[in-house]
Structure formats: structure tokens, C-alpha cells
Chain A
Amino acid sequence: MDRRLQNSGLVLRIGGALSVGAFVLAWQIISTSGLISTVLLPSPLAVIEALVRVSENGYRGTTLLGDALVTSARCLAGFALATIVGVPFGLAMGSSKRLAASFNYIIQFLRPLPPLSYMILLILWFGASEMSKVVLLFLTAFPIIVSAAMAGVRNVQGRRLQAARMLGASQHQIFWHVTLPSSLPLIFTGLKIAFAAAFQTVVAAELLTAQSGLGWMVLSASKYLQNALVILGVILLGLIGMTFSRLLHAADLRFIHWRGID
């Protein structure tokens, strides 16, 4: 088992590259052979062509970079707001039983609710504007982040708090030097989950109501059967989502260097 865990990075990368290379090659061969209509399944080359064409000319009055930025900006706006409000709120709920009792049931009702189910309400209330999308993403990420911060505070080991108290730390010091650092690993795990959820939701929301963004581009291209563009959009969305998750993960490793040390 131990040896298997050490799938050295190099083997993994070379093997992975070979596997992906073989897949793309098979895809190109199937498209060229005409087994499947290229309208349904454009070849990898057609996808690259679409990338070049759209980066040069844009798509229906929007640029590819602009669409990618709009999608990212919406997602980050909702996520950032949820982080700024959710982390302090969750920490407070973790510290105060009364606060938790007053609001936890709302959070726990919202958390498993599919965000798209109440999107139509947000559209009714805020219009099909940026506002309704940012509120939607906020509501997607917020309960996850609050729950993580609350769990983080509650999981702080009692003996750490007792030790700090015994050494004469004030409430203020205990919070900043014991509770917060001890709960940060769980908070970061929550942030990663919340981001993934927000990213799924932003794409769904763009498919429904947007006039810009990569999700909108994918839907619009599919209506005109421009499948190369659809595939390109999906791949770009995957890459953007992956990049942001990696960044969060890197920030986690960097800032929470005490994770797993007890």
C-alpha cells in the first residue's frame, strides 16, 4: 500500500499524458473517419480552430477573454462576499450557543437546498441582473462557509483552551491565538467546497439568464449547433474551475502550515 501511495509525480505525469494523448488521437481518428458526423462531434483540430477564431473575432459581440473574466468575476464576487460575511458569522455561532440556536436551523435548511431551485425567486426579487446572480452565489457559498467555521470553533481541543486560560490568556488572546488558528484548517476545507459549489452554480445561472459569460456562450453556441465552440467552452470552464481550486489549495498549504499537526 505504501509503495502504491508514492505514485511518483513523474510516472503519473508521463502515464497521464500518454493516456490523454491516446484519447485525443482516437477522437481525431474517429472524426476524420466520418464514423460520427462532425456536426455532432467536431474533431480536436476543429476545437482548436474554434479557439483561434473566437479569440481573434470574439463571439456575438463578446470576446472570449471577456466572457471568461465575467464568469470568474461573478463567481468570485459571490464567493468573496460569502467568505467575508460567513467566516465571522460562523466563528460567532461556534462561540455562542445562543447565536447558533437562533440561526443554525436556517443555515442547515439552506445548505443542502439546490441553489437553482430558488433562483427564480431571486430573479423575481432582483431582476435578471448581476445582482440576482451574485446573491445566488452568495447563498450557495454562505451556508457551507458558516457551517465550516462553526465546526472549526467547536472542534478546538478543550485542553488547548484550558492551557491558554491557565497561562493567563485573556478572552481576546484566546480567540486570536488559539481558537482562530485551530479552526482555520476546517474553514479552508469549507472554502474549497464552497468555491466548487459556487462555480457549478455560476455556470448554471449563466445558462439560464445571462447575456455574457462562458456559460452563456456554451448555450448560445449549442443553439446554432456550433459544437466545436461548445466543447471549447466546456473545456475552458473545466480549466478555470481547476485553476481556482488549485489556487485555493495552494493558499491552504501555504497559510495553514500547521494543518494535521497536533
Chain B
Amino acid sequence: MRAPPWLFTLVSIVAIIALWVGVTAAGLVSPLFLPSPAQVWSGAVDLFETGYNGTSLLHHIGISLVRVLAGFGTGAVVGTMVGLAMGSWRGFNVAVEPYIEFLRPLPQLGYLVLLIIWFGIGETSKIVLLFLTALPVAAVAARDGVLSVPAQRIRAARMLGANPRQIFFRVVLPSALPEIFIGMRLAIGLVYATLIAAEILAGSDGIGWVVFNAGQFLRADYVFVGVIIIGLMGLILDRTLVLAERRIVHWAGR
């Protein structure tokens, strides 16, 4: 009989946990570097009950989410509008493209330093950073979405007497939406990773800051808990967008 694949997943998970328990129980690694599963669990209970450094964990999670949503929301909306304009109007594309193409590969953390000098170390610099992170990704996706609308759809609409406004809202925008959503998913992943880095570099709260600060005080148990929370939050953000996409763009792939 052939073993089904899920059995391999199960065996692998059990093996890793057994190895983790074994190594920590045998004292091969100092708990400062690798806490045991039990220590991670009690660390999690501790964090959720008493918070970190006098502030509740939910506050840190909440503030990180607010930052992500504020930066992503503004960046994605403005970026999509810029991208739609770039796709529809050639002159605008020529003028704007160099900036978008330069901004896109630029390491965000590099210009965070400048933003801090300009806007202070508070919320503004972080949200501007996330705005600038999301903007070029959303713009490129929206432009490519517009440019890849099949020409015969537009010709058909024109032949049927649609005016440019109708063509844009009834043909171009719906056809471009699937690509716009792909861009949004890329953007939110990037924004989230950038936020965690920004909180580590220049934060005094937020879940990224908690993990880094706990690490500096050698609380590896808190670090493990924090990394798991960060992973789950990222997963939830991504899944939410996928759900929204399925809801809104039910015609994708047709």
C-alpha cells in the first residue's frame, strides 16, 4: 500500500517537534537561543495576558494593522489611478514612467531615513513610506491591466456607440481589474514586510518592534511568539484580499 502524501506532512511535523523537544530537553542548546515548545507556549500566554512592556499585545497588533491599512489604502488608490491614467494616456505614461520605474526597485528602507528627517520619527514618516511602497506596484499593475485589454472589446464597444467615458467604465476598468488585484496582492505583501522593518528601525511600538526589542533582551520565547503572530497576520491580510478579489472580480479568467 502506498502512503498518502498527507502522512508525510504529519510525519515531518511530528519529527520537527520531536527534534525541537529533544534538543531543548537534553539541554543541547541554551534556552536563551532556542526556547522549548513549552516555554514558547507560556511566553505566548504571558504576552497575551500581561502585554509587552506595559502595553497590551493587542495594542501593538492593532497599531501595526492601522499603519499597514493606511499606507496600503492610500498608496493602492493613488497608484491605481496613476496607473489607469498611464495606461489610457500615452503622454502621461512617458512623463511618469521614469519615476515609477526608479521608485519600484528602490530599497524602501533606504529612503525611510530621509522620510524620518523630513517628517519626524512619528506616524507620518511610516505611512508616507508605506504609501511610496504601494504606489509604484499598484501603478504598474493598473497600467499593464489597461494595456492588455483586448482591442476587439474596445472596438466592439465603440462600434455599438459607446462614448469614451462608457468605454472606460464598462470595458477598460472591468477588464483591467484582475491585473489590478494581482498588483494589490503584491503591494500588500511588500507593504507589510516594509512596515515590520520600519518598526524595527524606527518604532517604539507595533508588533515588529516587539519582536526586535524582545530579541535585544534575549527573550527568544517572545521572539518566537511574535514571529508566528507576524506570519499569521500576513496570511490574514493576503487571504482578505483574495476573498475581496473573488467577490468583486467574479469574471476573472473569462
Contacts and interface: CB of A to CB of B under 8 A. Distances in A.
A11 B93 CA distance: 11
Contact of A207 (B7, B8, B113): B113
Contacts of B216: 120
Contact of A120 (B7, B101, B147, B215): B215
A204 B13 contact: no
A117 B93 contact: no
Contacts of A23: 99
Contacts of A1: 147, 149-151, 154
A241 B105 contact: yes
B5 A97 contact: yes
B46 to A, nearest CB: 18
Q: How many residues of A sit at the interface, in one of the four size bands?
A: 35 or more
Interface residues of B, number: 67
Contacts of B150: 1
Interface string A35-70: 000001100000000000000000000000000000
A16 B98 contact: yes
B12 to A, nearest CB: 4
| A interface, over-half SS | helix
Contacts of A245: 105
A225 B113 CA distance: 10
Nearest to B96: A19
Contacts of B215: 120-121, 123-124
A101 B5 contact: yes
Contacts of B154: 1
Interface of A: 1-2, 4-5, 7, 11-12, 15-16, 18-20, 23, 40-41, 97-105, 109, 112-121, 123-125, 196, 199-200, 202-204, 207-208, 214-215, 218-219, 222, 225, 227, 230-231, 233-234, 237-238, 241-242, 245
Interface of B: 3, 5-9, 11-13, 32-33, 87, 90-91, 93-99, 101-102, 105-114, 116-118, 147, 149-151, 154, 189, 192-197, 200-201, 208, 211-212, 214-216, 218, 220, 223-224, 226-227, 230-231, 234-235, 238
